[in-house]
């Protein structure tokens, strides 16, 4: 155990040095300091993706990571020789908030189990597959069901666990690093980073955003929040690089391309990025003849998104050449078939359920929509009539509401065209999907609000700002009180998320994934062993939760969950004999009675090997020997 911890620490150190190397190199290439971390991660993802598509994933992971260390060594040598230097702004209040609370959150995630259904149906399973096989899934790898899902986040998590060790907590920490690095970019929008009120408002926004992500929290590998925060970073980058055409093009291509490789549904958010990018190109273009100007703008715009789409196009070609069919793939014929199957009545039923959910005030996404609208309207009125500063917050709110409306339509289309009617009519995952656009709009709204607040300050010359530059002692005291209150709530809200995750972990102590670790160790060699998990919860079996969990845990495509057993001796024995191993994480009364009656064995929980006339118990420590 101690050796494993030491190796994990050394691996983390090596990974950290590599990430610092990429970040430092990007600083030398004049990437904004607040973007170097997330840009470094996305660059590594793209490099590993290239190697993975060439069936060289393991080589790519080691090569990309070692390259980062080499870049760091080169940076240190050049710095020592005086060839290069980087200006550092020093620590700010928000830096301390990010470092301290980010570390605490990471430590909590390190000891968090994976519970959510989708972890085992895809997101954790694909990471395990990539880690222990060293290649993307093929047609024969039936353990992976959602073969059309792009692998971007899985590649980064795989890189991290390759060096720190494959563990659920390590996977969660890896995804949190990605989220935290993207979150850091919002501070690039600050005009004056010494102003505590402005920076703490952004910290508070980060903390509040997790309230709308409460359906899945951070202790899951699902990418709904990742999509939102990467989109936010992409939009911030367009604003920051608006007067640097080459950097702007590279930024948009990298972030848009990465989004498309995170999940197919990211196309909606890439369109949002494209609209803002086109607006920026038009606004920043040099006045000249309209034809030449239009040609230049369209050339840069189309060239950027052609470059961004190339990795995704490569992925789509790979999927169609490798797999005959795949769940949730983009397929017009499948959409037409789905619509024809459900019929007009099915469409109307889903639409009615959808409208009912939207106008339900108990819906978290609806509450988020209302809070953002009311908040920005109040802010617009206060800034305009109290501070006497005309602003564009109402116009911004109109655009944000349009994004929400369009996302509603795209989500409704997904339910009608992609989902089985039984899932669509219950709006399965509605709040989780809507949380993405709520979080996106929240960040956009508050960032613009903070920027406008800064423009209302008494002293607009940033070089002359000091603790004395206030209109009066009353405004100074009000500013200091507001800063303290916002900082207090920013810390409290983030601690609320940390404590909420801790509570969830404790609450889940008796769930099937946690109880499974008590009776067997996870297998790491891919196999086709037939395994039965006895689960007293019928709903977990009928929804295939237990089956997906078993496939992930024992790295097999032949695991099954079962909750009910025949009372006939012949059928009971027949059920048992078709498996090689039986796992009983939780006590199941019917199974225990059947074993006692037909096998004359007293069995409650444990990991067992199936023989003709009895079950052989295998200790937890010995379970790895049988994989």
pLDDT tens profile 184-204:
999 999 988 878 889 999 999
pLDDT one-digit tens code per residue, 347-399 = 888 889 999 999 999 999 999 999 999 999 999 999 999 888 899 999 999 99
Helices 168-183 & 124-133 angle (0-180, nearest 10): 110
Chain centre distance of CA 508 = 21
Helix (H, G, I), strand (E, B) or coil at 527: strand
Residues 498 and 514: their CA atoms lie apart, in Å, by 20
Measure Cα distances from 548 to 125, 145, 323, 502, 563 in Å.
Answer: 9, 10, 20, 25, 15
User: Is the distance from CB of 510 to CB of 518 less than 8 angstroms?
Assistant: no
| Angle CA 450–453–454, to nearest 5 | 90
Q: What is the CA radius of gyration of the chain?
A: 27
| Angle CA 456–486–462, to nearest 5 | 35
**Residue 388: Cβ within 10 Å count:** 8
- State yes or no: pLDDT of 67 exceeds 80: yes
pLDDT one-digit tens code per residue, 278-306 = 999 999 877 778 888 889 999 999 999 99
Average pLDDT over residues 234-240: 97
Residues 610 and 617: their CA atoms lie apart, in Å, by 9
Residues 548 and 117: their CA atoms lie apart, in Å, by 8
In the prediction, which pLDDT does 336 show? 56
- State yes or no: pLDDT of 581 exceeds 70: yes
Enumerate domains of the chain plus CATH numbers. Answer: 2-330+457-505 (no CATH), 513-626 (3.40.50)
- State yes or no: pLDDT of 423 exceeds 60: yes
- Burial string for 34-68 (b: 16+ CB within 10 Å, else e) reads bbbbbbbbbbbbbbbbebbbeeebbebbeebbebb
Q: Record the tokens describing residue 486, joined without a space.
A: 């916002």
Question: How many helices (H) and strands (E) in the chain?
Answer: 24, 5
User: Is the distance from CB of 248 to CB of 266 less than 8 angstroms?
Assistant: no
Tokens 């009066």 locate to 472
Closest by CA to 530, choosing from 501, 563, 503, 558, is 558
- State yes or no: pLDDT of 2 exceeds 90: no
Q: Record the tokens describing residue 535, joined without a space.
A: 């689960």
**Residue of higher predicted confidence among 511 and 86:** 511
Tokens 């078709």 locate to 578
Q: Record the tokens describing residue 124, joined without a space.
A: 């954790």
Q: Rounded to the nearest 5°, which phi and psi values hold at 609?
A: -100, 135
Residues 535 and 561: their CA atoms lie apart, in Å, by 6
Average pLDDT over residues 86-114: 92
- State yes or no: pLDDT of 1 exceeds 70: no
Burial of 276 (0-12, 13-18, 19+ CB in 10 A): middle
In the prediction, which pLDDT does 254 show? 98
In the prediction, which pLDDT does 289 show? 80
Q: Record the tokens describing residue 451, joined without a space.
A: 């920027």
Closest by CA to 172, choosing from 100, 225, 240, 135, is 225
Residues 48 and 131: their CA atoms lie apart, in Å, by 13
Average pLDDT over residues 592-605: 91
In the prediction, which pLDDT does 458 show? 59
In the prediction, which pLDDT does 83 show? 83
In the prediction, which pLDDT does 4 show? 80
In the prediction, which pLDDT does 287 show? 78
User: Is the distance from CB of 547 to CB of 559 less than 8 angstroms?
Assistant: yes
- State yes or no: pLDDT of 605 exceeds 70: yes
DSSP string, 45-60: HHHHHHHHHTT-HHHH
Burial of 527 (0-12, 13-18, 19+ CB in 10 A): middle
Q: Record the tokens describing residue 345, joined without a space.
A: 């009545």
Helices 36-53 & 2-28 angle (0-180, nearest 10): 110
Query: 618 pairs with which residues across the strands?
Result: 607
Residues 267 and 224: their CA atoms lie apart, in Å, by 13
**Residue of higher predicted confidence among 42 and 78:** 42
**Residue of higher predicted confidence among 469 and 430:** 430
pLDDT one-digit tens code per residue, 149-192 = 999 999 999 999 999 999 999 999 999 999 999 999 999 999 88
pLDDT one-digit tens code per residue, 300-346 = 999 999 999 999 999 999 999 988 765 545 555 555 555 555 567 77
Q: Which secondary-structure segment (H or E) carries 496? A: helix 473-507
Give every CB contact of residue 289 below 8 A, 6+ residues apart in sequence. none
In the prediction, which pLDDT does 35 show? 97
In the prediction, which pLDDT does 292 show? 86
With cut-offs at 50, 70 and 90, classify the pLDDT of residue 60.
very high
- In 426-552, beta strands by DSSP E: 531-534
In the prediction, which pLDDT does 100 show? 97
| Angle CA 510–557–261, to nearest 5 | 90
Helices 57-80 & 152-164 angle (0-180, nearest 10): 70
Average pLDDT over residues 123-140: 95
Q: Which secondary-structure segment (H or E) carries 284? A: helix 267-284
| Angle CA 298–302–304, to nearest 5 | 120
Average pLDDT, the chain: 91
pLDDT one-digit tens code per residue, 465-508 = 656 666 677 777 888 898 899 999 999 999 999 999 999 999 99
pTM over 0.85: yes
Closest by CA to 143, choosing from 126, 131, 130, is 126
């Amino acid at each position: 155990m101690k050796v494993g911890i030491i190796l994990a620490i050394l691996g983390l150190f090596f990974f950290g040095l590599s990430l610092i190397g990429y970040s430092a190199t990007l600083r030398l290439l004049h990437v904004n300091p607040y973007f170097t971390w997330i840009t470094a991660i996305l660059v590594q993802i793209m490099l590993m993706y290239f190697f993975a598509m060439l069936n060289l994933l393991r080589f790519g992971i080691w090569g990309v990571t070692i390259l980062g260390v080499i870049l760091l060594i080169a940076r240190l040598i050049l710095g020592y020789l005086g060839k290069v230097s980087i200006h550092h702004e020093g620590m700010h209040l928000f830096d301390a908030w990010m470092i301290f609370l980010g570390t605490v959150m990471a430590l909590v995630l390190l000891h968090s189990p994976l519970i959510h259904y989708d972890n085992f149906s895809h997101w954790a399973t694909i990471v395990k597959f990539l880690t222990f096989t060293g290649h993307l899934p093929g047609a024969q790898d039936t353990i992976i069901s959602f073969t059309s899902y792009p692998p971007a986040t899985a590649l980064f998590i795989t890189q991290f666990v390759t060096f720190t060790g494959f563990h659920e907590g390590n996977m969660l920490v890896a995804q949190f690093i990605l989220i935290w690095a993207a979150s850091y970019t919002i501070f690039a929008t600050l005009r004056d980073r010494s102003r505590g009120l402005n920076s703490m408002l952004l910290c508070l926004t980060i903390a509040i955003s997790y309230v709308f992500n409460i359906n899945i929290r951070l202790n899951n590998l699902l990418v709904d929040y990742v999509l939102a925060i990467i989109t936010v970073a992409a939009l911030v980058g367009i604003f920051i690089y608006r007067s640097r055409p080459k950097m702007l093009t590279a930024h948009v291509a990298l972030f848009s391309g990465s989004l498309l490789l995170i999940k197919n549904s990211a196309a909606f958010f890439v369109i949002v990025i494209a609209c803002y990018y086109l607006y920026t190109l038009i606004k920043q273009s040099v006045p000249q003849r309209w034809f030449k100007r239009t040609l230049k703008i369209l050339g840069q715009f189309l060239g950027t998104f052609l470059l961004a789409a190339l990795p995704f196009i490569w992925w789509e070609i790979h999927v169609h050449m490798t797999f005959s069919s795949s769940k949730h793939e983009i397929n017009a014929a499948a959409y037409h078939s789905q619509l024809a199957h459900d019929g007009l009545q099915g469409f109307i039923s889903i639409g009615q359920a959808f409208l009912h959910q939207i106008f339900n005030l108990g819906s978290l996404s609806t509450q988020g929509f209302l809070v953002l609208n009311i908040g920005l309207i109040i802010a617009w009125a206060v800034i305009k009539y109290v501070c006497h500063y005309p602003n564009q917050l109402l116009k911004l709110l109109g655009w944000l509401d349009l994004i929400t409306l369009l996302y509603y339509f795209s989500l409704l289309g997904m339910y009608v065209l992609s989902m089985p009617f039984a899932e669509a009519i219950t709006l399965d995952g509605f709040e989780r999907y809507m949380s993405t656009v709520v979080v996106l709009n929240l960040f956009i709204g508050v960032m613009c609000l903070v920027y406008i607040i800064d423009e209302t300050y008494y002293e607009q010359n940033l070089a002359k700002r000091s603790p004395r530059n206030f209109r009066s002692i009353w405004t100074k005291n009000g500013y200091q009180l507001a800063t303290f209150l916002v900082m207090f709530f920013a810390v409290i809200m983030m601690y609320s998320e940390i404590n909420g995750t801790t509570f969830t972990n404790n609450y889940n102590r008796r769930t099937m994934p946690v109880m499974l670790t008590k009776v067997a160790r996870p297998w790491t060699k891919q196999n086709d062993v037939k395994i039965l998990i006895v689960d007293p919860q019928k709903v977990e079996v009928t929804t295939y939760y237990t089956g997906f969990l078993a496939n992930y845990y024992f790295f097999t495509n032949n695991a099954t969950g079962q909750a009910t057993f025949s009372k006939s001796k012949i059928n009971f024995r027949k059920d048992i004999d078709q498996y090689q191993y039986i796992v009983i994480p939780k006590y199941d009364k019917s199974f225990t009675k059947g074993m006692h009656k037909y096998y004359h064995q007293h069995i409650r929980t444990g990991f067992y090997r199936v023989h003709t006339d009895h079950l052989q118990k295998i200790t937890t420590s010995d379970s790895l020997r049988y994989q």
